[in-house]
């Protein structure tokens, strides 16, 4: 295969180098396109064919259903490592030694407290504010309490900023939940590990003693691992593009949280449960909803189905599906939404509409069911996703800054009015 791509525009030929990734993926390097062609650009809404960066963090092959963080298959990491270990791997590039992991955990613990004034900001939100809105706002607000910008060339500075981010966001998430319930906030406690602290802050009343339910803690740890990174998805690209202006880490992560909130991205896990409940409330006619999803005049989509990259199966969905069965059995939860989900999956997987378009259940299809079995309320589903995605956002932000990537600034093809004369009020 040639190492160049040739483009012909109006009879003029231009050559562009081909670049290969370590997994043999090929890209046309179009960095010089505008300069050599006198202003021609590529048009690719939704960036379906556009690589925005070179990255060494996550590899996914959507055709084969492969997902690897820093070279390690997701299946192996989900089975053998814990969330903080995987976070360290994704952020710093290698699995931590015991010593490195202990230091990482300890440093994170030292930062879990929030400034008490953050409570005043939280007080200003209405009780029914969506926790994702609170999470995004309070993450942005952390900048006010940590105004010093991170020196990307100072390893220790970056390490401390990373640990701070990993530490404080779960506390904000738990406080957002308490706010919704009108309950007093719980503080993080050094007696607990990372996962236990999330659970105790979210679910224990102040007058109760928290005891760990191993099944719940392990299931949550596993779910978070599956969400850690997914290369250049909508929220991650947002974090990179915001960070590319040299906005701080908290500001970039806060933007990522907002991007994740949408129902076509992280918000899908909430949308799945709401859809399953709607089907049950409507009498349980799964076929009726399948037909709605297929009807081009109906905006309804089957939530939890389809993926921009996975066109075979989502490996995370396979792990989660197994985990959902185990959790429901262990916790003895009789979850009617799971029954409907299984029926829906079966019908959709045998329907040519979904088969032809390669629409398979994605990670969000089953994660909502586990969250529900763990007692996590629907509004908190996307927040849990955000906690899981946190190390991925941090890793991508760090990589982008260390690689000295230029500010993200796409071009456009203008399709508006050409120059025209100003109209006075009488002529409009
Ligand atoms: N239900 C019904 N039809 C669908 C669905 C669906 N869930 N997803 C895609 N299609 C159809 C779509 O109408 C189109 O049909 P046609 O070719 O006839 O016009 C075709 O499949 C291709 O769809 P697309 O919108 O061009 O595909 P995309 O790659 O732009 O969108 C997606 C990917 C995930 C946004 C989309 O599949 C979707 O909206 N799914 C439901 C929401 C969801 O579950 N999101 C979570 C994604 S996984 C977690 C994450 O990344 O955050």
Which tens digit of pLDDT belongs to each residue from 2-12? 799 999 999 99
Is the pLDDT confidence value at 334 over 80?
no
Cα 305 to middle of ligand 1, angstroms: 7
Closest residue by Cα to atom 4, ligand 1, is 301
Kindly indicate the confidence band of residue 75, based on its pLDDT and cuts at 50, 70 and 90.
very high
Report which secondary-structure segment, H or E, holds 4: strand 4-9
Kindly indicate the confidence band of residue 328, based on its pLDDT and cuts at 50, 70 and 90.
confident
- Of 83-92, 251-260, 270-279, 410-419, the one with minimum mean pLDDT is 270-279
Q: Which residues are CB-neighbours of 207 under 8 A, at least 6 positions away?
A: none
Mean pLDDT (whole number) for 146-162 = 90
Mean pLDDT (whole number) for 326-331 = 81
Mean pLDDT (whole number) for 63-76 = 96
* pLDDT of 313: 82
Is the pLDDT confidence value at 425 over 90?
yes
Comparing CA positions, the residue from 400, 267, 284 lying closest to residue 343 is: 284
Comparing CA positions, the residue from 51, 47, 46 lying closest to residue 27 is: 51
Mean pLDDT (whole number) for 57-73 = 95
Mean pLDDT (whole number) for 118-131 = 94
Question: Which atom of ligand 1 sits closest to the CA of residue 365?
Answer: 44
Quote the radius of gyration of the chain (alpha carbons, Å). Answer: 23
Question: Burial of 13 by CB count in 10 Å (0-12 exposed, 13-18 middle, 19+ buried)?
Answer: exposed
Composition of the chain by helix, strand, coil, percent to 5: 55, 5, 40
Is the pLDDT confidence value at 366 over 80?
yes
Mean pLDDT (whole number) for 63-71 = 95
Is the pLDDT confidence value at 367 over 70?
yes
Please state whether the predicted TM-score (pTM) of the whole model is above 0.85.
yes
Kindly indicate the confidence band of residue 336, based on its pLDDT and cuts at 50, 70 and 90.
confident
Q: What is the DSSP string of 248-282?
A: -HHHHHHHHHHHHHSTTTTTHHHHHHHHHHHHHHT
Is the pLDDT confidence value at 288 over 70?
yes
Which tens digit of pLDDT belongs to each residue from 213-248? 888 899 899 999 999 999 999 999 999 999 999 999
Closest residue by Cα to atom 34, ligand 1, is 307
Is the pLDDT confidence value at 401 over 90?
yes
Question: Which atom of ligand 1 sits closest to the CA of residue 296?
Answer: 13
Mean pLDDT of the chain: 93
> In the sheet where 12-20 sits, what is the strand order?
4-9, 12-20, 26-28
Active site residue 343: no
Q: Quick check: 379 and 270 in contact, CB under 8 A? A: yes
Q: Quick check: 121 and 138 in contact, CB under 8 A? A: yes
Mean pLDDT (whole number) for 314-338 = 83
Ligand 1 site-directed mutation target among 230, 270, 306, 358, most atoms within 8 Å of CB: 306
Kindly indicate the confidence band of residue 365, based on its pLDDT and cuts at 50, 70 and 90.
confident
* pLDDT of 115: 95
Q: Which residue among 177, 227, 265, 307 is the active-site one? A: 307
Mean pLDDT (whole number) for 253-268 = 93
Cα 333 to middle of ligand 1, angstroms: 31
CA atoms within 13 A on the CB side of 197: 25
Rounded-to-integer distance, Cα 215 and Cα 388, Å: 18
Which tens digit of pLDDT belongs to each residue from 180-211? 999 999 999 999 999 999 999 998 888 888 88
Closest residue by Cα to atom 17, ligand 1, is 357
Cα 377 to middle of ligand 1, angstroms: 25
Kindly indicate the confidence band of residue 309, based on its pLDDT and cuts at 50, 70 and 90.
confident
Is the pLDDT confidence value at 325 over 80?
no
* pLDDT of 1: 67
Cα 313 to middle of ligand 1, angstroms: 14
* pLDDT of 149: 78
Closest residue by Cα to atom 22, ligand 1, is 357
Active site residue 246: no
Q: What secondary structure letter does DSSP report for 46?
A: G
* pLDDT of 332: 80
- Residues with CB under 6 Å of ligand 1 are 233, 264-266, 268, 293, 301-308, 357, 359, 362-364
Closest residue by Cα to atom 41, ligand 1, is 303
Cα 57 to middle of ligand 1, angstroms: 25
């Amino acid at each position: 295969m040639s190492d160049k791509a040739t483009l012909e525009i109006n009879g003029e030929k231009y050559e562009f180098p081909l670049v290969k990734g370590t997994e043999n993926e090929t890209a046309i390097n179009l960095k010089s396109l505008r300069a050599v062609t006198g202003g021609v650009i590529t048009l690719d809404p939704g960036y379906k064919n556009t690589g925005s960066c070179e990255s060494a963090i996550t590899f996914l092959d959507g055709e084969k259903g492969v997902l690897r963080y820093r070279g390690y298959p997701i299946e192996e990491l989900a089975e053998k490592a814990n969330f903080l270990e995987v976070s360290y791997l994704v952020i710093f590039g290698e699995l931590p030694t015991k010593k490195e992991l202990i230091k990482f955990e300890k440093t994170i613990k030292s930062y879990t407290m929030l400034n008490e004034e953050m409570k005043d900001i939280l007080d200003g939100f209405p009780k029914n504010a969506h926790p994702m809105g609170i999470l995004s706002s309070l993450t942005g607000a952390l900048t006010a309490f940590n105004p010093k910008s991170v020196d990307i060339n100072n390893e220790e500075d970056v390490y401390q900023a990373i640990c701070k981010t990993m530490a404080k966001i779960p506390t904000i998430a738990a406080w957002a939940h308490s706010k919704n319930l009108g309950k007093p906030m719980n503080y993080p406690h050094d007696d607990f590990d990372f996962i236990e602290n999330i659970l105790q802050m979210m679910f224990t009343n102040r007058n109760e003693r928290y005891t760990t339910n191993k099944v719940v803690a392990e299931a949550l740890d596993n779910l978070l691992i599956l969400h850690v990174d997914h290369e250049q998805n909508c929220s991650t690209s947002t974090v990179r593009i915001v960070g590319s202006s040299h906005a701080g880490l908290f500001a970039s992560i806060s933007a990522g949280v907002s991007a994740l909130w949408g129902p076509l991205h992280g918000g899908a896990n909430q949308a799945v449960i709401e859809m399953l409940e709607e089907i049950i409330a409507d009498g349980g006619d799964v076929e009726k909803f399948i037909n709605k999803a297929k009807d081009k005049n109906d905006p309804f989509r089957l939530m939890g189905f389809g993926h921009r990259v996975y066109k075979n199966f989502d490996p995370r969905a396979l792990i989660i599906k197994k985990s959902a069965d185990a959790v429901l059995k262990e916790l003895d939860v009789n979850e009617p939404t799971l029954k409907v989900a299984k029926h829906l999956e079966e019908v959709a997987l045998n329907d040519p509409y979904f088969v032809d378009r390669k629409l398979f259940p994605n990670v969000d299809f089953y994660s909502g069911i586990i969250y529900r079995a763990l007692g996590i309320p629907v509004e908190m589903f996307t927040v849990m996703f955000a906690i899981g995605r946190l190390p991925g956002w941090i890793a991508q932000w760090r990589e982008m800054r260390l690689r000295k990537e230029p500010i993200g600034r796409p071009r456009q093809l203008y399709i508006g009015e050409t120059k025209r004369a100003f109209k006075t009020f009488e002529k409009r």
